[in-house]
Amino acid sequence: MWSKTVTTKILGYMRGFPKQRMNYGQSVVSVVEREVIKSRELEKDELRPLYMDFQATTPMDPRVLDAMLPYQVNYYGNPHSRTHAYGWESESAMEKARKQVADLIAADPREIVFTSGATESNNMSIKGVARFYKAKKKHVITTQTEHKCVLDSCRVLEAEGFDITYLPVKTNGLVDLQLLEETIRPDTSLVSVMTVNNEIGVRQPVEEIGRICRSRNVFFHTDAAQAVGKIPVNVSEWKVDLMSISGHKIYGPKGVGALYVRRRPRVRMEPLQNGGGQERGLRSGTVPTPLAVGLGAACEIAQQELEYDHTRVSMLSKRLVQKIMSEIPDVVMNGDPNERYPGCINLSFAYVEGESLLMALKDVALSSGSACTSASLEPSYVLRAIGTDEDLAHSSIRFGIGRFSTEAEVDFTAEKCIQQVKRLREMSPLWEMVQEGIDLKSIKWTQH
């Protein structure tokens, strides 16, 4: 009798419908059903578009997730608890992560403040420094091509009575150093220039800016969210006083970032968030241990992989640009061709509407500019700032290449792009006119 029960159970299980489970009704998902769902999931995964938008965000590295997982479940202590082992283990994990972040940018661990992301880091440094020194210094300098969060923080300061200079950039996207030097006034408290631009990928001359700012006794903040972990970063060589770092741009988790705040010469700032006095009182609130650990792991891996990744990304980016440029005429690369991070390529396809090209390239996840502004059809303000013509600004697409991109993906993207640009141009009356030799600029467009 015993063996009979066991046999029926085994047989039932093998068929996928164990007898006792049947009694519970439909709420219990059988093994077979689960397998079906799993295979369907995988199938769906494979049908998703290729990811070519590594400037918007990056997938998490499996090594990062592996480091984080224990702190999501087993080691859940509050890192600021001083009275028990749960707190101590979380604290030591957090401090290890702080050191990993500091090592990547050649800083001291005590100079790293964990935040919720680069946006918070930028807000903190711009508003914090400007407000702390507002009694004597009322001027802040930034550039027109900064990220929205820097520009918006500056707008808020403007409303508070600060004087802000939005420096124009040259047509290659770089800051004019002479103009910067001339703009600095005795009452300038802060200069904020991003290291690598998120839309066109140009790398600003941070070393020179740092030198100018140090000699004029002005604090220098740089938004290095797109640079850290991708190009070598050294805060002492660059003479940077504040640096924003983002977790999810370097294959780490979303929702965490860091701010580097120099200790010598000391940068003083007013905190945005007040409370328990964590992070030296600059950013109160419990540090999310798993996220901080993830950021630390991402930084350590980025440091190990920097050279390997950079070689590979450069190779892939060259491959993509050459393939596209050799097949279709009238493609413009936005931004300086040499001073750039190769993983961010912004191309303008003349006589093609960027959004319709994006629609046609539905098999590839691409963007016409930054993710924050991708909802609006307005041309990118960065492209307008570097003096791109209205029509070219409307036809730009940003290709992002990263650690997990493959040759096959790049080739597919290039082929699709070539094919669709050719198709769209064939439909375009503008393209036809250009082929006939009519200069589009000479045409007077009248409204009917």
Partner 1 sequence: MDKYECIYLKENMSSVVGKMAASTRSQVLFLYRLLMKESSKFPSYNYRTYALRRVRDAFRANQNIEDPKTVQQLVKQGMDTLDIIRRQVGYTPTHRVHEGE
Q: Which residues are the active-site residues?
A: 372
Number of neighbouring beta carbons within 10 Å of residue 43: 9
Q: Is 31 in the site for partner 1 (CB under 8 A)?
A: no
Return all residues near 282 (Cβ < 8 A) that are at least 6 apart: 113, 124, 128, 259, 261, 269, 271
| Interface with partner 1 (CB under 8 A), residue from 34, 110, 170, 422 | 34
322 interacts with partner 1 by CB under 8 A: no
Residues of this chain, 382-401, that bind partner 1 according to CB under 8 A? none
**Eight-class DSSP state of 379:** P
Options 6, 19, 32, 41; binder of partner 1; rule CB under 8 A: 41
Largest CA distance in the chain: 96
Verify binding: residue 33, partner 1, rule CB under 8 A: no
| Smaller CB separation from partner 1, 128 or 343 | 343
76 touching partner 1, by CB under 8 A: no
Residues near partner 1 (CB under 8 A), total: 18
Q: Which stretch binds partner 1 (CB under 8 A): 4-12, 203-211, 330-338, 402-410?
A: 402-410
Q: Does 42 bind partner 1 (CB under 8 A)?
A: yes
Please provide the DSSP assignment of 95-138 as one string.
HHHHHHHHHHTT--GGGEEEES-HHHHHHHHHHHHHHHTTTT--
* Residue (41 or 390) nearer to partner 1, CB: 41
Distance CA 399, CA 345 (A): 5
Measured distance CA(112)–CA(68) in Å, rounded:
19
The residue count for the chain: 448
User: Crossing angle for the helix pair 85-104 and 289-327, nearest 10 degrees?
Assistant: 30
Kindly give, in sequence order, each residue whose CB lies less than 8 Å from that of residue 418, ignoring residues fewer than 6 positions away.
323, 324, 327, 328
Q: Which long-range contacts (CB under 8 A, 24 or more apart) does 34-41 make?
A: none
Pairing of strands 112-115, 257-261: antiparallel
Q: Does 46 bind partner 1 (CB under 8 A)?
A: yes
Q: In this complex, which beta carbon is closest to partner 1, that of residue 37 or of residue 443?
A: 37
Q: Residue 127, Cα to own-chain centre: how many angstroms?
A: 21
Is 38 among the residues that bind partner 1 (CB under 8 A)? yes
Q: How far is the CB of 54 from partner 1 (least distance, A)?
A: 11
Q: Of 12, 59, 168, 255, which lies in the binding site for partner 1, with binding defined by CB under 8 A? A: 59
CA 49 to chain centre: 20
Q: Select the residue interacting with partner 1 from 85, 171, 237, 404 (CB under 8 A).
A: 404
For partner 1, the closer CB: 62 or 265: 62
Closest CB to partner 1 among 76 and 404? Answer: 404
Name the CA radius of gyration of the chain, rounded.
26
> Which CB sits closer to partner 1, 51 or 341?
51
Interaction between residue 15 and partner 1 (CB under 8 A): no
Query: Partners of 202 in the beta sheet?
Result: 340
Q: Give the residue from 203, 179, 201 showing the smallest Cα distance to 191.
A: 179
Q: Is residue 349 within the footprint of partner 1 (CB under 8 A)?
A: no
Contact with partner 1 (CB under 8 A) among 51, 219, 220, 399: 51
Question: Are 383 and 293 a contacting pair, CB within 8 Å?
Answer: no
Which stretch, 43-51, 78-86, 363-371, 417-425, contacts partner 1 (CB under 8 A)? 43-51
Q: Which is nearer to partner 1, 59 or 109 (CB)?
A: 59
Q: Least CB distance from residue 70 to partner 1, whole Å?
A: 11
Do residues 345 and 318 lie in contact, with contact meaning Cβ atoms separated by under 8 Å? no
* Position among 22, 31, 37, 438 found at the interface with partner 1 (CB under 8 A): 37
Site for partner 1 in 132-151 (CB under 8 A): none
Which one of the spans 40-48, 117-125, 151-159, 257-265 is the region binding partner 1 (CB under 8 A)?
40-48
Which residues of the chain form contacts with partner 1 (CB under 8 A)? 34, 37-38, 41-42, 45-46, 51, 59, 62-63, 65-66, 308, 403-406
